[in-house]
């Protein structure tokens, strides 16, 4: 039988072997052809390593099969890209390819809806059936690409008949640009198909005032946010401080009803004190923002898929798509979370209603002007915590001779 052997350095060899030959004899021939010692060779057939003492026929090797020779002793290093494909469309490492796709529930759901035959092949145990299906898909894509190129050549020939026609030249430029886009798409789909799967946003289970919630973890949101309806459900609206009403500014705007300064929150069996900004209209019920992530020394660990809370010494797993209610799944969840993060990306700024206007103020650390007259920076920071700008805080403290209480009364009045 004739075998095709590929090496690490992309060398391809055609060998004629008997089905009764043992694998070790094949390695001996390859040692002569490649100068790689027999002991440093690993032969892989259909995702399985061939054993030296086994016969080729008994190992499932058939006429026309492809065998990969991996150089180096010991366990082989995992492929840099488990979903890499050969020139004929088959997977370089079908076992790794199968495991990588099956490990992504979103990708499997998409395949079941768009390509059920491939999804079934991935879930089965017949590796050769999977490889055959991948080759057929590649052949179909290649035929489609060739048909498109032929149509484009014919179209270009017609358009090029009059090189002075500006409209024809514009269409030629458009076709060339579209061809580049299509090639980029095909390359991405071939080498990184996982990029076309849907990503589930980061949610964890939390309990606010005894009410269980699915909290959206967003490190791009400056403040922790809760919708008014959720605050009502949790029974904490009675604690709302309306002096901190204002406008949340970012990509869009939303009205801030006020702030709840201290709220009991339980996560992973531990209780944390939190301060929550309440918005009038907010699609996201509860958004765990950067202020609490920093205060409680949190770490978003995607390798373990957990939110680690350093101050409490606990780690809670991020929820899968199946653990979320329908309104938080899929595109709707992505849209609402993007809106929530965008509304706070520029800084959720709560301006007290006593005369000060809500505006996006820079963080205290970025203020350039020093406090005049030796005004205490701590006092300025205290007033800025109430939502006033640095300029307002400095001016009030200057008028009140540095008395922070009088300055706060002046600003609130």
Question: What does each C-alpha distance from 83 to 95, 270, 297 come to in angstroms?
Answer: 10, 41, 36
Q: Name the DSSP class of 320.
A: P
Q: For the chain, first and last CA: distance in Å? A: 94
Smallest CA-to-CA distance from 96 within 48, 43, 40 is with 48
Phi, psi of 355 (to 5 degrees): 105, -30
Measured in whole angstroms, how far is the alpha carbon of residue 352 from the centre of its chain?
A: 37
Coil, helix or strand at residue 17: coil
**Separation CA 33–CA 351 (nearest Å):** 78
What number of helices (H) and strands (E) belong to the chain?
A: 12, 16
Measuring CA to CA, how many Å separate 149 from each of 144, 157, 187, 214, 220?
Answer: 9, 12, 16, 50, 44
Q: How far apart are CA 56 and CA 69, in angstroms?
A: 15
Query: The dihedral of CA 379, 382, 383, 388: what is its sign?
Result: positive
Report, as residue numbers or ranges, the catalytic residues: 218
Main-chain phi, psi angles of 229, to 5 degrees: -65, -35
* d(C-alpha 234, C-alpha 207), whole Å: 9
Compute the Cα dihedral for 314, 317, 318, 324 and give only its sign: negative
Work out the angle between the directed axes of helices 116-123 and 94-102 (0-180°, nearest 10).
110
Please count the CA atoms within 13 angstroms of the CA of 80 that sit on its side-chain side.
1
Is the distance from CB of 352 to CB of 388 less than 8 angstroms? Answer: yes
Residue 9 burial class via C-beta count within 10 angstroms: exposed 0-12, middle 13-18, buried 19 and up:
exposed
> Nearest to residue 48, comparing CAs of 114, 125, 108?
125
């Amino acid at each position: 039988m004739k075998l095709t052997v590929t090496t690490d350095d992309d060398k391809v060899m055609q060998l004629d072997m008997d089905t009764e030959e043992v694998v070790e004899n094949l390695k001996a021939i390859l040692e002569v052809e490649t100068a790689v010692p027999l002991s440093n060779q690993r032969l892989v057939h259909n995702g399985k390593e061939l054993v030296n003492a086994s016969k080729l026929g008994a190992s499932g090797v058939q006429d026309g099969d492809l065998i990969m020779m991996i150089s180096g002793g010991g366990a082989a290093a995992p492929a840099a890209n488990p979903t890499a494909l050969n020139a004929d469309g088959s997977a370089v490492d079908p076992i790794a390819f199968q495991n990588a796709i099956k490990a992504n529930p979103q990708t499997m759901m998409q395949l079941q809806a768009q390509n059920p035959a491939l999804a079934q092949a991935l879930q089965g145990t017949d590796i050769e059936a999977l490889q055959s299906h991948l080759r057929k898909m590649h052949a179909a894509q290649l035929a489609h690409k060739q048909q498109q190129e032929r149509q484009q050549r014919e179209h270009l020939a017609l358009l090029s008949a009059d090189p002075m026609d500006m409209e024809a030249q514009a269409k030629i430029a458009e076709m060339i640009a579209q061809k580049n886009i299509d090639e980029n798409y095909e390359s991405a789909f071939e080498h990184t198909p996982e990029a076309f799967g849907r990503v589930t946003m980061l949610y964890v289970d939390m309990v606010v005032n005894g009410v269980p919630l699915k909290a959206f973890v967003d490190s791009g949101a400056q403040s922790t946010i809760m919708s008014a309806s959720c605050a009502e459900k949790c029974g904490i609206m009675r604690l709302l401080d309306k002096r901190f009403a204002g406008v949340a500014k970012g990509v869009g705007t939303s009205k801030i009803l006020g702030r709840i300064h201290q709220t009991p929150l339980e996560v992973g069996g531990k209780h944390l004190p939190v301060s929550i900004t309440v918005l009038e209209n907010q699609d996201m019920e509860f958004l765990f923002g950067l202020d609490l992530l920093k205060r409680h020394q949190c770490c978003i660990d995607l390798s373990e898929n957990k939110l680690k809370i350093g101050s409490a010494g606990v780690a809670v797993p991020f929820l899968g798509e199946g653990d979320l209610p329908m309104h938080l799944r899929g595109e709707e969840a992505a849209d609402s979370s993007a809106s929530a993060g965008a509304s706070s990306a520029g800084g959720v700024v709560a301006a007290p209603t006593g005369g000060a206007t809500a505006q996006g103020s820079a963080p205290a650390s970025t203020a350039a002007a020093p406090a005049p007259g030796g005004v205490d920076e701590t006092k300025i920071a205290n007033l800025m915590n109430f939502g006033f700008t640095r300029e307002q805080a400095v001016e009030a403290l200057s008028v009140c001779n540095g008395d922070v209480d009088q300055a706060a009364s002046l600003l609130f009045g």
